[in-house]
Amino acid sequence: MTTRKMGGIGLTVCVLAFVVMAGFARFGQSEDNKPPATAAHPHDDAMMTCAKACSDCQRACDSCAAHCGHKLHEGMKEHHASLVSCQDCATVCAAASQIVARSGPYSMAICTACADVCGKCAVECEKFPNDAHMKACAEECRKCEKACQAMAKHH
C-alpha cells in the first residue's frame, strides 16, 4: 500500500473512533445526570417573568414609537411626547430585560427605573384612549411596571 492510502485509512479510523467514543459518552448520560436547564435560584421565576415583561414592553414601545412617527408625519403634533417616551421606554426595557435575565448585580436598580419609566410612558400613551395601538402599548407598559415592582419586592 502506498503511504497516501495508509494516511487516508488512518484518518478514517481516527474519525470513526471519535464518533464511537462520543456515542458511548452520550449513551451513558441519563436524564438524572444532565444539568438542569436553568439554575435553581429562588428568584428565577420572578426574574424570568420580569425579563419577559420587559422584552414584551420593549417591542410594544418600539412599535408604538413608529406608529407615533407616522402620526407626526400626518401632522398630529400631539404624538411627539408619546413618541420620545416610547423610544426611551423601549431602551430602558431592553436593558432591564437583559440584565434581569442574567440575574445581573444591578437587576433591582434597573427594575426600579424600568417600573418608573413604564408608568410614565403608560400615562403618555393613555392620552389617546381611542387609538388601539396606543392603548395596547399602555397596557404592555402597565404589565411591565407591575412585573418590575413585583421583582423589586422579591429581592
Task: Give residue 10's pLDDT.
Answer: 53
Q: What is the C-alpha end-to-end distance of the chain, expressed in Å?
A: 71
Which residues contact residue 144 at a Cβ distance below 8 angstroms, ignoring those fewer than 6 apart? 53, 54, 56, 57, 93, 114, 115, 118
Residue 6 has pLDDT above 60, yes or no: no
In this model, does residue 104 exceed pLDDT 50? yes
| pLDDT for residue 9 | 56
- pLDDT beyond 60 at 80: yes
C-alpha cell at position 61: 414601545
The residues near 20 (Cβ < 8 Å, ≥ 6 apart) are none
Whether 16 is covered by a domain: the verdict is no
Is 12 inside a domain boundary?
A: no
Question: Does residue 19 register a pLDDT over 70?
Answer: no
Task: Count the domains in the chain.
Answer: 1
Mean per-residue pLDDT for 90-114? Answer: 96
In a domain, 93, yes or no: yes
Residue 84, pLDDT above cutoff 60: yes
User: CATH number for the domain including 97?
Assistant: 1.20.1270.360
